Amino acid sequence: MMAKAHLSLLLCACFVLLNVVSHSADEASPAIFILGDSTADVGTNQYLPHAIFRADFPPYGIDFPKSRPTGRFSNGFNSADFVAKFFGLKRSPPSYMFLLTLNPHRFRKHLLKGANFASAGAGVLDITGPTGSVVPLSQQVSQFSEVRSNLTLQLGSAAVDSMLSKSMFFISVGSNDIFGYFNTNNTMSKDNFIAIVITTYLDQIMKLYKLGARKFGIISVPPVGCCPSQRLVQKLLYGTDGCFEMQNDFALTFHSALEELLNHLSSELPGFKYSLGNGYKMSIDVINNPQASGFENVDAACCGNGLLNAQAPCNSTAIVCTDRRKFLFWDMFHPTKKAAFLAAQTLYSGPPNYVSPINFSQLAKDY
Contact 51, 134 (CB under 8 A): yes
Amino acid at 80: A
Taking the C-alpha atoms of residue 284 and residue 267, their distance in angstroms, rounded to an integer, is 30
Contact 275, 216 (CB under 8 A): yes
Q: Pick the catalytic residue: 41, 285, 299, 331? A: 331
Contact 204, 141 (CB under 8 A): yes
Amino acid at 59: P
- Cβ neighbours of 290 (radius 10 Å): 18
Taking the C-alpha atoms of residue 97 and residue 91, their distance in angstroms, rounded to an integer, is 17
38 is known as an active-site residue: yes
Contact 220, 174 (CB under 8 A): yes
- Cβ neighbours of 284 (radius 10 Å): 20
Of the candidates 93, 97, 58, 100, the residue with the CA atom closest to the CA atom of residue 78: 93
23 is known as an active-site residue: no
Contact 121, 136 (CB under 8 A): no
Q: Pick the catalytic residue: 167, 175, 334, 361? A: 334
Calculate helix-pair angle for 104-111, 137-155, nearest 10 degrees: 100
81 is known as an active-site residue: no
- Cβ neighbours of 131 (radius 10 Å): 9
Helices (H), 95-187: 96-99, 104-111, 137-155, 157-166, 175-183
Taking the C-alpha atoms of residue 110 and residue 101, their distance in angstroms, rounded to an integer, is 12
Taking the C-alpha atoms of residue 113 and residue 265, their distance in angstroms, rounded to an integer, is 26
Q: Pick the catalytic residue: 8, 23, 37, 38? A: 38
Cβ neighbours for 79, distance < 8 A, ≥ 6 positions apart: 13, 15, 39, 40, 172, 335, 340, 341, 343, 344, 347
Catalytic residues: 38, 331, 334
